[in-house]
Chains A and B, each alone.
Chain A
Amino acid sequence: MSLLDIENLSLTIGDTQILTGMELSVAPGEVMGLVGESGSGKSMTALTVMQLLPHAARATGRVSFDGIDILAATEDQMCALRGDDIGMVFQEPMTALNPVKTIGEQVAEGIRWHTRASRAEAEERARKMLDRVGLPSAKFPLSRYPHELSGGQRQRVVIAIACALKPKLLIADEPTTALDVVLQAQILDLLRDLVAESRMGLLLISHDLAVVTEMADRITILRRGEVMEAGDTARTLSEQLHPYTRQLAQASMHVPARTRPHGVGSGQPLLQVEGVTRDYHGRRTSLFKRAPAIRAVDDVSLSMAPGQSVALVGRSGCGKSTLARMILALDRPSSGTIRFRGETITGKSEAELKPARRDMQVVFQDPYGSFDPRQKVEKLVAEPLHVLDKKPTRAERREMVAHALHEVGLDQRDMDKYPHEFSGGQRQRLSIARAIITRPKLVVADEPVSALDVSIRAQILDLFAELNQKLGIAYLFITHDLTVARAITDEVLVMHDGKIVERGKTNEVLDHPQSEAAKALVTAAPDLHRAITRRMQEQG
């Protein structure tokens, strides 16, 4: 007898069909993984079960939870279920907690509401629950506010709220997507333990096949609102009977074909970072006192050869993005020097930086945020031409933009469109076109594929590899994702607390990490191969 049964569920919001004939079930104590790319309707499935859909949504079919017909339930019945029998954990821990209420109040609130417990009783239970999720009250008293906690700690509070009353079903919607891999592993462990302890059913929603494979007993693969394949996790993924399942799995493990680019290791280094440190002022604690300065980057030295592809990996907040901004001369080091093509760029004025800027470009993470929505592609892609000594004519400019678009696999007619007319993957191509239009020697890419779906991610990685081969561009990839590092780079630098703690050939470091930080990253990184193998072994 299953706990949650979804049969033939169809959902529309306004005129948009979100789900069609959706089927899914979760048994008590079972982990069901719901996998799909963005827009596949995974989150809407969760919100249908919770009946927290937007007003314009219309659902038909059958959703039954513990014998209750959810689609026919009144709001009062749903309120009784939510938080008591069904708990939910959301994606974004930074915004999921009320900033003006203490964590104790927020955990105790649901307990008091459902059990009519006294304040003291509810607080006692909240304290126990927070202790259980790894926030012992000695270090994290109930009187803490959310802003005093880190992202991982906040997600623990959200889990404590969801599990406070030992629900029969827990729905976790991308619970670790906003966290780095080490935190992700910790949160997944916690969820796994909580499920085992109280025989909760867990509906785990994720875009990451590896995460789901590690966690789930059964999986359901969703695409554009329709179930593609469902079944036992190990069998589904080892057999890969459905073409879409195969496509997803292959994209998750994709490694672009690369031979070693020409010219590596010869001559003068392209980029030299020597003893660079960046301090940020501490916050003022009173009129005359400041908190001690925060050292974001601590005495970092590195060197890159022309055409080389280097990964800078580390957990969130380790200082990798700050380092990247200093290399791009968008931020100034507190001490140390950065040399690009043998010339010092630290402390130079914007005019003096022009030649360096020509040879150094950037690709950002968010394909949606990195274009001014008010400008056409032609102007956006041509923006770096600003640094050329001789301003190109309109015709020359169009010619150059057309060429760059062609190189990233877009049509030259695209230059008269606005960014919103492109999909996320296409926008990342535009971003790359903008980066290569001045024929730079170095491209710094800050998490360039982490916002993309796996199939798109594979294509963009291929494009990066191809351009590296064809144009001999050196890459500095900033990432927390080891699969990206493995796929595209020759060397890897591991950063931790502002310092570079390990460096070496990518495969060697990832296969045999030496430092604690590198080991933590490697063991925590979800790996589809490993996960499938382990599943198979467990089942014999």
Chain B
Amino acid sequence: MTAYLLKRLAIAVATLVLASMVVFAVLEILPGDPARLMLGMNASADQVELLRNQLGLNAPLPWRYLHWTGGLLSLDFGRSYTYSVPVIDLVRERLAVSLPLALIALALSTVIAIPVGLYSASRRGRAGDTVAMGAAQLGVAVPNFWFALMLIYVFAVWLRLVPAGGFPGWSAGVWPALKSLLLPAVALALPQAAILARVTRSALIEVLNEDYIRTARAKGLPYRAVLWRHALRNAMIPVLTILGLQFAFLLAGTIIIENVFYLPGLGRLVFQAITQRDLIVVESVVMLLVAAVIAVNLLVDLSYAVVDPRLRSRQ
């Protein structure tokens, strides 16, 4: 068990370090001088040079990398060139929108998908399965931002149940804030739920063909009990894998969805920062997202060990 955990942890840390090097390297080769950008076109060469020194842009590459990663570790992300505020404040403010959005979407997708997958697998080939899987097939094909536009049209423009976009902030109260996150979460969740439902169903069906399912049936357990007691846990591994991948997908999905709904989230922040060449913001947010993905993958690896005793064995 410990060997497995240590190995996964070591891989996660190594991946994180490598990822930070990649991010740093990519932004190094990015065209455009941040100092020049901050000061505008009229600034003199001396002024630019002075600012470059102040920003530490003239220091040697390895030193700048270490300085940057050191800053990341102590949550000192530096100051945004365009907003002129500490990046950490920006991130904190935007995370308050994006994190709840991603989590609601993830929860929504799981809550919809697992029961549908179970239902479909248990009535394989019957009408209910066909309908559910037809819907899932359609759900996989729908781009989330188009789905979002359709939701806006129906629920905001036509029925006027929820706002079409924007975010009142948590200070305006929990309910109005949640209400404005509802449509974006649904738009993000449904296509993911369709994928997850399909994976759940096929994982279950694969497991239901295993010999030990027949052993369980020969014990006298009815089909439904076999599904719950024996099949579900064995089918969890592929489902967990997809859940882990979906987290990364949801994070990236927020970039587009936040643009559709004009939500002041992390995705919109990073998108704007990229177009405005606000490197320090891009670096920090990308690293944050990458770290989140790696952490979630580590969590998925750990949950494998909980589900599957073979990974826990000490032999």
- Which of B7, B211, B229 has a CB less than 8 Å from the CB of A96? B211
Please determine whether A82 and B308 come into contact, CB atoms closer than 8 angstroms. Answer: no
Please determine whether A145 and B218 come into contact, CB atoms closer than 8 angstroms. Answer: no
- Which of A80, A96, A97, A287 has a CB less than 8 Å from the CB of B220? A80
- Which of B2, B223, B313 has a CB less than 8 Å from the CB of A147? B313
Please determine whether A109 and B221 come into contact, CB atoms closer than 8 angstroms. Answer: yes
**Cβ-closest chain B residue relative to A282:** B315
Q: Is the interface of B mostly helix, strand, loop or mixed?
A: helix
Smallest distance from the beta carbon of A122 to chain B beta carbons, Å?
Answer: 12
> A145-B310, A147-B313, A285-B3 are known contacts. Are A95 and B211 too (CB-CB below 8 A)?
yes
Please determine whether B210 and A285 come into contact, CB atoms closer than 8 angstroms. Answer: no
> A52-B218, A79-B222, A113-B219 are known contacts. Are A284 and B3 too (CB-CB below 8 A)?
yes
Smallest distance from the beta carbon of B14 to chain A beta carbons, Å?
Answer: 13
Smallest distance from the beta carbon of A117 to chain B beta carbons, Å?
Answer: 14
Cβ-based interface call for B123 (8 A): no
Smallest distance from the beta carbon of A414 to chain B beta carbons, Å?
Answer: 34
Please determine whether B212 and A95 come into contact, CB atoms closer than 8 angstroms. Answer: yes
Please determine whether A90 and B215 come into contact, CB atoms closer than 8 angstroms. Answer: yes
Please determine whether A83 and B212 come into contact, CB atoms closer than 8 angstroms. Answer: no
In the complex, per-residue mask of B276-315: 1 if CB is within 8 Å of any chain A CB, else 0: 0000000000000000000000000000000111100111
**Cβ-closest chain B residue relative to A102:** B309
CB-CB contacts below 8 Å: B214-235 with A = 214-223, 225, 229-230, 233-234
Please determine whether A100 and B220 come into contact, CB atoms closer than 8 angstroms. Answer: no
In the complex, per-residue mask of B93-115: 1 if CB is within 8 Å of any chain A CB, else 0: 00000000000000000000000
Q: Which residues from chain A contact B308 at a C-beta distance below 8 Å?
A: 99-100
Cβ-based interface call for B30 (8 A): no
Cβ-based interface call for B73 (8 A): no
Please determine whether B7 and A114 come into contact, CB atoms closer than 8 angstroms. Answer: no
- Which of A79, A100, A114, A284 has a CB less than 8 Å from the CB of B309? A100
Smallest distance from the beta carbon of B35 to chain A beta carbons, Å?
Answer: 45
Smallest distance from the beta carbon of A282 to chain B beta carbons, Å?
Answer: 9
Cβ-based interface call for B6 (8 A): yes
In the complex, per-residue mask of B191-225: 1 if CB is within 8 Å of any chain A CB, else 0: 00000000000000000001110111111111101
Smallest distance from the beta carbon of B302 to chain A beta carbons, Å?
Answer: 16
Cβ-based interface call for A423 (8 A): no
Q: Which residues from chain B contact A158 at a C-beta distance below 8 Å?
A: 215
> A99-B308, A99-B309, A287-B3 are known contacts. Are A110 and B219 too (CB-CB below 8 A)?
yes
- Which of A88, A97, A286 has a CB less than 8 Å from the CB of B3? A286
Smallest distance from the beta carbon of A393 to chain B beta carbons, Å?
Answer: 48
Please determine whether A83 and B220 come into contact, CB atoms closer than 8 angstroms. Answer: yes
Cβ-based interface call for A291 (8 A): yes
Cβ-based interface call for A92 (8 A): yes
Smallest distance from the beta carbon of A479 to chain B beta carbons, Å?
Answer: 26
Smallest distance from the beta carbon of B194 to chain A beta carbons, Å?
Answer: 27
Cβ-based interface call for A98 (8 A): yes
Q: How far is the CA of A158 from the CA of B219 in the complex (A)?
A: 10
> A95-B212, A100-B233, A100-B308 are known contacts. Are A79 and B2 too (CB-CB below 8 A)?
no
Please determine whether B215 and A81 come into contact, CB atoms closer than 8 angstroms. Answer: no
Smallest distance from the beta carbon of B303 to chain A beta carbons, Å?
Answer: 13
Please determine whether A96 and B215 come into contact, CB atoms closer than 8 angstroms. Answer: yes
Please determine whether B211 and A90 come into contact, CB atoms closer than 8 angstroms. Answer: yes
Q: How far is the CA of A95 from the CA of B315 in the complex (A)?
A: 20
Q: How far is the CA of A158 from the CA of B214 in the complex (A)?
A: 12
Cβ-based interface call for A30 (8 A): no
Q: How far is the CA of A285 from the CA of B225 in the complex (A)?
A: 36
Q: How far is the CA of A88 from the CA of B219 in the complex (A)?
A: 8
Please determine whether B212 and A97 come into contact, CB atoms closer than 8 angstroms. Answer: yes
Q: Number of B interface residues at 8 Å Cβ cutoff, please give it.
A: 30
- Which of A76, A148, A287 has a CB less than 8 Å from the CB of B315? A148
Q: Which residues from chain B contact A285 at a C-beta distance below 8 Å?
A: 3, 314
Q: How far is the CA of A143 from the CA of B203 in the complex (A)?
A: 26
Please determine whether A99 and B310 come into contact, CB atoms closer than 8 angstroms. Answer: yes
Q: Which residues from chain B contact A161 at a C-beta distance below 8 Å?
A: 215, 219
> A82-B220, A90-B211 are known contacts. Are A287 and B6 too (CB-CB below 8 A)?
yes
Q: Which residues from chain B contact A291 at a C-beta distance below 8 Å?
A: 315
Please determine whether B313 and A99 come into contact, CB atoms closer than 8 angstroms. Answer: no
Cβ-based interface call for A101 (8 A): yes
Cβ-based interface call for A75 (8 A): yes
Please determine whether B307 and A162 come into contact, CB atoms closer than 8 angstroms. Answer: no
Q: Which residues from chain A contact B310 at a C-beta distance below 8 Å?
A: 99, 145, 147
**Cβ-closest chain A residue relative to B234:** A100
Cβ-based interface call for A283 (8 A): yes
Q: How far is the CA of A187 from the CA of B269 in the complex (A)?
A: 68
Please determine whether B218 and A100 come into contact, CB atoms closer than 8 angstroms. Answer: no
Q: How far is the CA of A84 from the CA of B218 in the complex (A)?
A: 9
Please determine whether B211 and A52 come into contact, CB atoms closer than 8 angstroms. Answer: no
**Cβ-closest chain B residue relative to A107:** B219
Q: How far is the CA of A147 from the CA of B216 in the complex (A)?
A: 17
CB-CB contacts below 8 Å: A70-92 with B = 75-76, 79-84, 87-88, 90, 92
B210, B219, B221, B233, most chain A CB atoms within 10 A: B219
Q: How far is the CA of A105 from the CA of B13 in the complex (A)?
A: 38
Q: Which residues from chain B contact A87 at a C-beta distance below 8 Å?
A: 218
- Which of A81, A83, A95, A286 has a CB less than 8 Å from the CB of B6? A286
Q: How far is the CA of A83 from the CA of B211 in the complex (A)?
A: 16
Cβ-based interface call for A50 (8 A): yes
Please determine whether B2 and A286 come into contact, CB atoms closer than 8 angstroms. Answer: yes
**Cβ-closest chain A residue relative to B229:** A109
Smallest distance from the beta carbon of A266 to chain B beta carbons, Å?
Answer: 50
Q: How far is the CA of A113 from the CA of B210 in the complex (A)?
A: 21
Please determine whether B219 and A95 come into contact, CB atoms closer than 8 angstroms. Answer: no
Q: Which residues from chain B contact A52 at a C-beta distance below 8 Å?
A: 214, 217-218
Smallest distance from the beta carbon of B175 to chain A beta carbons, Å?
Answer: 42
Q: Which residues from chain A contact B315 at a C-beta distance below 8 Å?
A: 148, 283, 291
Q: Which residues from chain A contact B225 at a C-beta distance below 8 Å?
A: 113
**Cβ-closest chain B residue relative to A85:** B220
Q: Which residues from chain A contact B229 at a C-beta distance below 8 Å?
A: 109
Q: Which residues from chain B contact A80 at a C-beta distance below 8 Å?
A: 220
CB-CB contacts below 8 Å: B5-46 with A = 6-7, 10
Q: A52-B218, A109-B216, A161-B215 are in contact. List 4 more A-B contacts (CB 8 A).
A: A76-B222, A88-B218, A99-B309, A110-B221
Q: Could you show 22 A-B contacts with beta carbons less than 8 Å apart?
A: A52-B217, A80-B220, A81-B220, A82-B219, A82-B220, A83-B219, A90-B215, A96-B214, A98-B215, A98-B234, A99-B212, A100-B233, A100-B308, A101-B230, A110-B220, A113-B219, A145-B310, A147-B309, A158-B215, A161-B219, A285-B3, A286-B3
**Which 4 pairs between the two chains have the least Cβ-Cβ distance?**
A83-B220, A83-B219, A110-B219, A82-B220
